[in-house]
Amino acid sequence: MHSFQQQAGFPILTVMTFLPTLGALVMLALMRGRPQLYKSTALVTAGATFFLSLAMVLKFDQSSADFQFIEKVSWIERLGASYHMGVDGISVLLILLTTLLSLVIVPASWNYIKDRELTFFASFLFLETGMLGTFCARDLLLFYVFWEIMLIPMYFIIGVWGGPRRIYAALKFFLFTMAGSVLMLVAIVGIAYLARPDRYAAPVFDLDQLQKAVFSFPVQVAAFLAFFIAFAIKVPMWPVHTWLPDAHVEAPTAGSVILAGVLLKMGGYGIIRFCIPLFPDAAAAAVPYILILSIIAIIYGAMVSLVQKDLKKLVAYSSVSHMGFVTGGIFAFNVIGLSGAVLVMFSHGLLTGALFLLVGFMYERLHTREISLMGGLASPFPVLAAFLLFFTLASLGLPGLSGFIGEFLSLLGLFSYNKAMAVVAASGIILAAAYLLWMYLRVMFTGTRDEEWFKLSDLNLREIASLAPLAVLAVWVGVYPSTFLNIINPSVNKLVTQMAPYVAQHGGLLTHLFASRGGL
Amino acid sequence: MTPLQHYLALSVALFAIGAWGVMARRSIIVVVMSLELMLNAANIALVAFSNYSPGTPGRGEVFVFFVLAVAAAEVAIGLAIGIAMYRLRERLDVDELDELKG
Amino acid sequence: MTDYSTPLFYIVAAVVLIPAVLMVTFRNLIYSAAAMILCFIGVAMVFVTLNAELLAISQVLIYVGAISILIMFAIMLTRQRSGEIRLFFHRQAWLALPAALALAVTMAVVLSRASFSTTPGPRNPGTSDLSNLLFDQYAFPFELVSLVLLVAIVGAILLARRERRR
Amino acid sequence: MKAAVLLIPLLPLLSFAFTGLLGRRYLKERSHYVSVAAVGISWLLSMYVLVEVERGQTLSWQLYSWIAVGRFSVDIGFLVDQLTAVMLLVVSTVGFMVHVYSIGYMHGDKGYYRFFAYINLFMFSMFMLVLANNFLLLYVFWEAVGLCSYLLIAFWFPKRSAANAGMKAFLVNRVGDFGFSLGIMLIFITLGTLSYSGVFASASTLSGGMATAICLLLFTGAVGKSAQFPLHVWLPDAMEGPTPVSSLIHAATMVNAGVYMVARSNPLFAQSHTAMMVVAIIGTFTAIFAATIAMVQNDIKKVLAYSTISQLGYMFLALGVGAWTAAIFHLLAHGFFKGLLFLCSGSVIHALGGEQDMRKMGGLKRKTKITYWTFVIGALALSGFPGLSGFFSKDAVLTGAFAEGYWYFWIVALITVLLTAFYSFRLIFMTFHGEPRTDPKVFAHAHESPRVMTVPLILLAIPTVIGGLMLGIPPENGHIDRLLHHIFEAAIPAGEHVFGPLTLSLMIISALVGIAGILLAWHLYERCPWLPNAACKRAGRLYTLLLNKYYIDEIYAAVIINPLRGFCGWLWRFVDAGVIDGAVNGAGWLAMGAGRLLRPIQSGKVQGYLFSMFLGLLALMVAYLLFNI
C-alpha cells in the first residue's frame, strides 16, 4: 500500500494542492498595494509548488501501477464521501505540467496586467489549487468539488482581465463547462447510489470501491455519456468546441496559457480516469463514434485554423486539432495509442502554452493580434522569431521535438485499430504544417510592415526565462522520451489490460457492425 | 313562503351587477361602490341560508356583522387611496394608474 | 295571513336590483351614489322579509348612514371637471357585461344544481340568539374585527392626510 | 571507427550550436572559421570511414533506446556499410567544398552567421540520415533535412518570393512525408520492428500486396524529397535560396536522400515487381518531362534545377529496373558534377552582381576563365561526353535498363540524353560565348570570383574528370560494382552481366547521341543566334507551354489550394459560426424572446387583473359543471 507516510513522510499531495491557496490568502491579506512584495510572493509560492511536485515525481515509484502517496480521511460520514487523494503515472505527469505552467506565467505577466494585479495573481493561485486537486482526487465528490473550484477563478480571469468581448466569452465558457459538469454531477450521484452494497448503506463515492461495482449495460451507457459529455466539452471535442476560440481571444496571456496548457487536459485526464475504468462496456461500445468525432476534430480544427485572422484563434483551433489526437489515441485502447495520447497532452501543454506566451509578448509590443496587421517581424525581433519558429515547428510535429513523439504514437495506436481512420487522421499533419507555416510566413517573413517596430525592444531576459524551461522540456521529450514514458507506462498497461476483455468482446460486435456496412 | 332559491337568485344578480360595475367603470369611487354591492349580495345569501338551514338559528347572521365591519374598513381604505391618488394625479381613472407595469 | 310574501319579495328585489343597475350606469357620480343608497335600503328590506330585523337596522345604520356618506365625501373631495368623465373603458366595457352575465348564469346553474337541506319556512332568530353566538362562540373573531377596524382607521388617516412638506 | 562515426555528425551539430548562439553578437563575419573547420574534419573522418569500409569493416552500433512503449521499441543507432560510405563520400565532399565556397559567396551578407549555422545543422541532419539504422530515425532526419532546406531557401526572408518558396518546399516535402510515415507505420504493424536488419530479414514474409503497399508509400516519401513528377514543383522555386545552398542541398545531398532510401530498402522493393515498375515509370517520365522544360528556361539556376530533377529521374529509372549499383554510381557522379555546375553558376551570378537571366549574359568567357573551363567540364560530364564520370554512370544506367529488357525505357532515356546535352551546352553558349548582352556598366567590372570560390570549383572538377575512370572501368563490374555488390545481392536479378559487344555498342550509341546534342546546341546558339528566336515563334504555344512549366503550379493552385482555402473559409463561417454558435446563441436568444413575449401580461391595469381573475373563476365553475370535479 503506497500511503504517503512511507513515501514522503508528510502528506505531500495535500500540502502541494493547498500551498497556492495559502500563498494567495497571505497575499490578499497582507500585501495589498505593494506590487513588488506580492509579485515575488506569487513567484515564491508557484516555485515552491513546482519543487514539491518535482520532489513527488522523483519519489514516485515507477515500477508499481497502483496509486501512490495515498491520503485517506473520512470527510462526510453519512454520504460515504472521503477525502481520498492519490496519484498514478498519468496524474504525476499532468501535475508536473500544471505546476510548471503556473510557475512560468508569473514572470510572463509581470507587467501585462494593469489594474487589480494582486487579485489577478491570487486567482491564479486559487486556480492552481483547483487543478492540482482535480488531478489528485480519488473520490468522486472530492473530484467534483475541485472541478468546480477550478471554474470560478478561470471565469474571473477571462471576465475581469479579458479583452473587449470578455463578458460574452467568460459567460460562454462558464455555461458550457457548467452544463457538462451538472450532467456529470447527476451521473456521480446516480452511480454512487447504485453502487451501495445494500439499501441502507451509505452511497459509495470512493473510486476504488466504485471500480469493483458492476453496473448494468444501460446504466453504464447513461453514466458514460454523462461523464463523457462533461469531459468532451473540456477537451474540447468537435461539436462542443466553440467556447474555446472565444475564451482564448478574450483571455489575458496567462489565462490562455493555463486554459490551453492545463484545462484542456482535464477532459482527457477525466476520460482516462473516470469514463473508461468505471464503465468499460460502454466505453468499448462507444469507440467508433468517438474515433470518428476525434478525426473530425483533427481535420476540422486544422482546416478552420487555415482561415483564421486572429493569432490566438488560430492557436485555439490548432489546440482543437491536437486534442483530436488525444481522444483518438485514448480510444484506440492499446498501449501505444494511450501513451501517445498522454504524451500529446503533456507536449501540447508545453507547446501551446509557449505559443500563447509568445503571442502575449507580441501583443505587449504591437498591441494587436491580427495577422494581417503584422508582417516581417523577424528583422526587428530576431530572438522572438527564433523562439516562435522553434515552438511552431514543435507543434507541427517536427520529429526530434515533443510534438512528434505523441502524435506518431497516437497515430500508430489508431493505425493498429483501423487503418482508414489513421490515414485520414495522419493527413492532419499536412494541414498542421500548412496553417502553422503560413501563419509564420505572414507574421515573421516578408518585408517589415512598420518601421517603428525597429525601435521596440526584442525579448528581454524575463520573457526568455519564462520560455526557456518549456523549450528545454520540448527538446527533452523529443530526444529522450523514455524518462516520461517510464512514468506513465505502468498505469497505461494496467488500464489497457483492464480494458482488453471488454474491447475484445465489444470490438468484435462493432467492427462486425462496421464491416457489414462496408465500413472503415 | 318564497323558497330559498329566489333569495339566492337575487343575491347572484346583485353580485353580477356589482362585478360588472367593478370591471366596467373607470372611477375608483364607483368601483368601491360596486364592491359594496357585491358584499351586500353576499350578505343576502348569508342571511337567506342561515334562515333556511337547520341548526342553531342566527349562525349566518352573525357572520353578516363581520362582513359589515370588514366592508366598512375596506371602504375607508379604498377611498383613502383614491383621495391620495387624486391628490397626486388630478385624475382618478383607474386605467391610467399603471406604474406597477411589468 | 294571506300569502303576500311572494309579491312582496318581487317588490323588494326590484328595489334592490334597479338602483344597482342605475348606480353602475349613471354618468354623474352623485346620482350613482344616490342609487347606491336606494339599493342598500332595498337590501335592508330583504333582511326584514327574512325576519332579520336587527340586521336590517344595522344595515341601514352602517351602509346607508356611514358608508354612503363616506362615499359622498370622497366624491366631493375628488371634484373633477365634470366634462371628461368617460363612463366606461372603451376597451373592456363591452367585455365586462357579458362576463358578468356569464358569471351570473353559471352561479345560478351551480346553485340550482346543488341540493340544500332546507327547513320549510324562514325561522325567526331572536336578538338573544345572535348576541349568544356573537359573544361566546365568535368572541375571538369579534376582537379581531375590532383590530381590523382600528387598522383601517389609522390607515385611512395616514393615506388621506394632506402631505406636509418635511 | 566508432569514434569517427560518432564524430562525423556531432561536429557539425556542435558548430551549429556554437555559431547559432554566439554568431549574432560576437562572431559576425568570423563565424565561418568554426563551421568550415568542423565540416572539414567530418570530411576527413568520412574519408577514413570510406577506407575502413573498403577494407570490409562495417559497423552496427546502438547508442540508446529512444522510444520503448509496449511492442513498439525504436533506438538511436548507426549502421555503416558500403552504401553509407558512398553517401558519406558525396555528402561530406560536396558539403566541405560548398562551405569553403560560401565564405566568398556569402561575404558581407547581414545574416552571415545564420547561414553557416543553418548549413551546419543541415550537414548534421544529412549525416545522421545516412548513418541511421532504422526507418523511424531515417524519417526523423528526413524531416530535419526538410526543415534546414526550408530555413535556407527562405534565408533572405524579407523577400516575399523566397519566403513563399521556403514554405512551398516544406509543405510539398510534408506531403511526401505523410506517405512515408504511413509506410513506416505499415511496416511496424506487419513486421513488428523498424530496424533495417529486422525489416530486411523478414522482408520475404511479406505478402505481395502488402509489400507493394509499403514500397509505394515509401516511394511517395522519395518522390516528395527527390522532387519527382507529381511533387517536383518545389525544387525550381527553391532556387530562391543562396546558390551554395542550391548546390549542396538541391543538387548533391538532400535530393539524393530519396534515391538512398529506395536503394537502402532494396530487399523490400525486390519483393514487389509492380512497385519497381512504378518507380521506373515515374523516374523515366520525370527525366524526359524535366528535360523538356529545362530546354526553354532562361534563368541559369532554373535550368540546372530542372536538370537535377531529370538526372534524379535517371537514378529512379535505374532503381526501378534493378540496376541498383548504376543508380548509386550515377548519384555519386551527379552529386559532383551538378554541385560543380551550381557553384559555377553561383560564381557567374556573383560576377554579374546578382544577374540570373541568361538573356542578359554572354561573352563571359574572356572575363571568368576558371569558371568557364570548370563549367565546360561539368557540362560535358552532365551530357555524358565519353571519358568523364557522367558518361560512365549514365551509360551504366542505360545499359542496365536495356539489359533487363526494358528497351522502351532505354529509348526514352536516350532521347533525354540528347535533350540534356542540348540544354547544358545551350546554357554555356548563351552565358559564355557570343556578345555580352549585359548592360556595359555591369559587364565592365565583371570579374573572376576570388580564389576562395574558384579553388573549390577546381577541386570538384577533378573527380568529375577522373571519377568515371576510377570507378566505372570496366563497366558492369567496375570498382563501384564490387563495392556495392554485397548490399544489393538480395535484389539483383539473376543472370551474369559481362562486358560484351552489346554493352560496347550501347556505350557508343549514347556517346554519339550526346555529341549530337552538343552540336545541335552549337549550331543553334553559336553559329546562327537568330535561329532560336525564330524557332520559338514558330513553336508558339508549345514554347509558352514549356516556358510555363506545363502550368503545373497553376493547376495545383486551381485544383487543390484555392478550393481548400475556400472550403475552409466556408467551414468556419457556416459550420462554426453559423451552426454551432448559432445553436448556442440561439438558446440564449430563445430565453430572452420568451421573456419578452410574456411581458405585456403584466399590464399594470388593475381592471385587467380583475378581469382575468373573473375569467379564471368562470372557467373553474364551468369545469365544475362539466366535469363535476
Q: Cβ distance A349 to A263 under 8 Å?
A: no
Q: Residue-wise over A477-491: b if at least 16 C-beta within 10 A, else e?
A: bbeebeebbebbbbb
D616 at interface of C, judged by CB pairs closer than 8 A: no
CATH of domain B4-96: 1.10.287.3510
| Domain contains C106 | no
**Nearest by CB: A400 against D144, D164, D185:** D144
* Residues forming beta bridges with residue A87, ordered by sequence position: A68
| Domain contains A422 | yes
**Residue whose cell numbers read 527533452:** A476
Average pLDDT over every residue of A432-448: 87
Q: Judge: D618–C113 Cβ closer than 8 Å, yes or no.
A: no
Q: Let me know the angle formed at the C-alpha of D271 by D265 and D277, rounded to the nearest 5 degrees.
A: 85
How crowded is residue D592: how many other Cβ atoms within 10 Å of its Cβ? 9
Does the pLDDT of residue A69 top 50, yes or no? yes
**Nearest by CB: C96 against B23, B36, B48:** B23
Whole-number pLDDT of residue C1: 41
**Nearest by CB: A307 against D166, D572, D584:** D572
Least confident of A117-131, D234-248, D436-450: D436-450
Chain A residues lying within 8 Å of D572, measured CB to CB: 303-304, 307-308
Whole-number pLDDT of residue D629: 54
Whole-number pLDDT of residue A46: 92
Does the pLDDT of residue C100 top 80, yes or no? yes
- Pairing relation of β-strands A81-87 and A68-76? antiparallel
CA nearest A340: which of A261, A276, A409? A409
Residue D547, burial from CB neighbour count under 10 angstroms (0-12, 13-18, 19+): middle
Chain B residues lying within 8 Å of C151, measured CB to CB: 73
Distance CA A27, CA A20 (A): 10
Please tell me the total count of domains within chain C. Answer: 2
Q: Judge: D24–A382 Cβ closer than 8 Å, yes or no.
A: yes
Does the pLDDT of residue D402 top 90, yes or no? no
User: Considering C79, C102, C137, which residue would you say is the last residue of a domain?
Assistant: C79
pLDDT in tens, D155-195: 888 888 888 899 899 999 999 999 999 999 999 988 888 88
CA nearest A448: which of A520, A382, A349, A374? A374
Q: Residue-wise over D125-155: b if at least 16 C-beta within 10 A, else e?
A: bbbbbbbbbbbbbbbbbbbbbbbbbbbbbbb
Q: How many Cα atoms sit within 13 Å of C81 on the Cβ side?
A: 4
Confidence of residue A520 (pLDDT cuts 50, 70, 90): very low
Q: Judge: D614–C92 Cβ closer than 8 Å, yes or no.
A: no
| Domain contains C38 | yes
Average pLDDT over every residue of D571-589: 77
Residues C142 and C69 in one domain: no
Does the pLDDT of residue C82 top 70, yes or no? no
Chain C residues lying within 8 Å of D624, measured CB to CB: 110
Does the pLDDT of residue A58 top 70, yes or no? yes
pLDDT in tens, D274-333: 999 999 999 999 999 999 888 888 888 899 999 999 999 999 999 988 888 888 889 988
Does the pLDDT of residue A288 top 60, yes or no? yes
User: Considering C79, C110, C145, which residue would you say is the last residue of a domain?
Assistant: C79
* Residues forming beta bridges with residue D62, ordered by sequence position: D77
Interface of A with D in 58-77 (CB under 8 A): none
CA nearest D42: which of D71, D77, D16? D16
Chain D residues lying within 8 Å of C105, measured CB to CB: none
Whole-number pLDDT of residue D465: 86
> Is D394 or D601 the better-scoring residue by pLDDT?
D394
Does the pLDDT of residue A33 top 80, yes or no? no
Chain B residues lying within 8 Å of C40, measured CB to CB: 36, 40
Distance CA D245, CA D101 (A): 11
Query: D615 to chain C: nearest residue by CA?
Result: C99
User: Considering C79, C107, C141, which residue would you say is the last residue of a domain?
Assistant: C79
Whole-number pLDDT of residue C118: 64
Q: Cβ distance D465 to D391 under 8 Å?
A: no
Query: C88 to chain D: nearest residue by CA?
Result: D607
Does the pLDDT of residue D352 top 90, yes or no? no
Least confident of C1-5, D56-60, D390-394, D397-401: C1-5
Our CA dihedral for C55, C59, C60, C66, rounded to 10 degrees, sits at 140
Chain B residues lying within 8 Å of D602, measured CB to CB: 100-102
Q: Which chains pack against D, by 3+ Cβ pairs within 8 A?
A: A, B, C
pLDDT in tens, C17-62: 899 888 888 878 888 888 889 999 998 888 888 877 888 888 888 8
B97 at interface of D, judged by CB pairs closer than 8 A: yes
Whole-number pLDDT of residue C78: 74
Whole-number pLDDT of residue D522: 84
| Domain contains A428 | yes
Chain D residues lying within 8 Å of A404, measured CB to CB: 140
Distance CA C70, CA A133 (A): 74
Report, as ranges of residue numbers, the positions in chain B whose pLDDT lies below 50. Answer: none
pLDDT in tens, D60-108: 888 888 888 888 888 888 999 888 998 999 999 999 999 999 988 888 8
C67 at interface of B, judged by CB pairs closer than 8 A: yes
Distance CA B63, CA B50 (A): 10
What are D309's three cell numbers? 530533377
Looking up residue C41, the CATH number of its domain turns out to be 1.20.120.1200
Does the pLDDT of residue A200 top 90, yes or no? no
Please tell me the total count of domains within chain A. Answer: 1
Domain chopping of chain B, boundaries:
4-96
Residue D522, burial from CB neighbour count under 10 angstroms (0-12, 13-18, 19+): middle
Write out the residue range of the structural domain in which residue C135 sits. 127-166
Chain A residues lying within 8 Å of D136, measured CB to CB: 408
What are D230's three cell numbers? 507529381
Whole-number pLDDT of residue D135: 92
The pTM of this model reads: 0.80
Distance from CA of A445 to the nearest CA of D (A): 5
Q: Judge: B23–D607 Cβ closer than 8 Å, yes or no.
A: yes
Q: Judge: B86–C78 Cβ closer than 8 Å, yes or no.
A: yes
- pLDDT above 90 as % of chain B: 2
Distances (CA, A) of A221 to A287, A499, D182: 12, 16, 34
Least confident of A82-86, A265-269, D210-214, D470-474: D470-474
Does the pLDDT of residue A105 top 80, yes or no? yes
Q: Which chains pack against A, by 3+ Cβ pairs within 8 A?
A: D
Three-state SS string across C21-62, please? Answer: HHHHHCCCHHHHHHHHHHHHHHHHHHHHHCCCHHHHHHHHHH
pLDDT in tens, D413-443: 989 999 999 999 888 888 888 777 777 777 7
Whole-number pLDDT of residue B55: 67
Whole-number pLDDT of residue C14: 87
| Domain contains A347 | yes
Distances (CA, A) of A17 to A63, A81, A151, A260, C141: 25, 19, 16, 20, 66
Does the pLDDT of residue A297 top 50, yes or no? yes
Confidence of residue C83 (pLDDT cuts 50, 70, 90): very low
> Is A8 or C104 the better-scoring residue by pLDDT?
C104
Whole-number pLDDT of residue A49: 93
Distance CA D182, CA D221 (A): 10
Interface of D with B in 570-629 (CB under 8 A): 599-607, 610-611, 614
Q: Which chains pack against C, by 3+ Cβ pairs within 8 A?
A: B, D
Distances (CA, A) of A399 to C79, D146, D147: 95, 11, 10
| Domain contains A256 | no
Q: Cβ distance D238 to D174 under 8 Å?
A: no
Does the pLDDT of residue A514 top 50, yes or no? no
Our CA dihedral for A305, A311, A313, A315, rounded to 10 degrees, sits at 70
Least confident of A347-351, D104-108, D235-239, D469-473: D469-473
Distance CA A124, CA A371 (A): 29
| Domain contains C102 | no
Average pLDDT over every residue of A83-97: 90
Distance CA D312, CA D297 (A): 18
Whole-number pLDDT of residue A508: 45
Chain B residues lying within 8 Å of C155, measured CB to CB: 76-77, 80
Confidence of residue D603 (pLDDT cuts 50, 70, 90): low
Q: Cβ distance D337 to D507 under 8 Å?
A: no
Confidence of residue A518 (pLDDT cuts 50, 70, 90): very low
Confidence of residue A513 (pLDDT cuts 50, 70, 90): very low
Q: Let me know the angle formed at the C-alpha of D72 by D66 and D78, rounded to the nearest 5 degrees.
A: 40
pLDDT in tens, C106-152: 888 877 777 666 665 556 666 777 777 777 778 888 888 889 889 88
Average pLDDT over every residue of A366-389: 86
Q: Judge: A339–D569 Cβ closer than 8 Å, yes or no.
A: no
Average pLDDT over every residue of A59-64: 83
Does the pLDDT of residue D21 top 90, yes or no? no
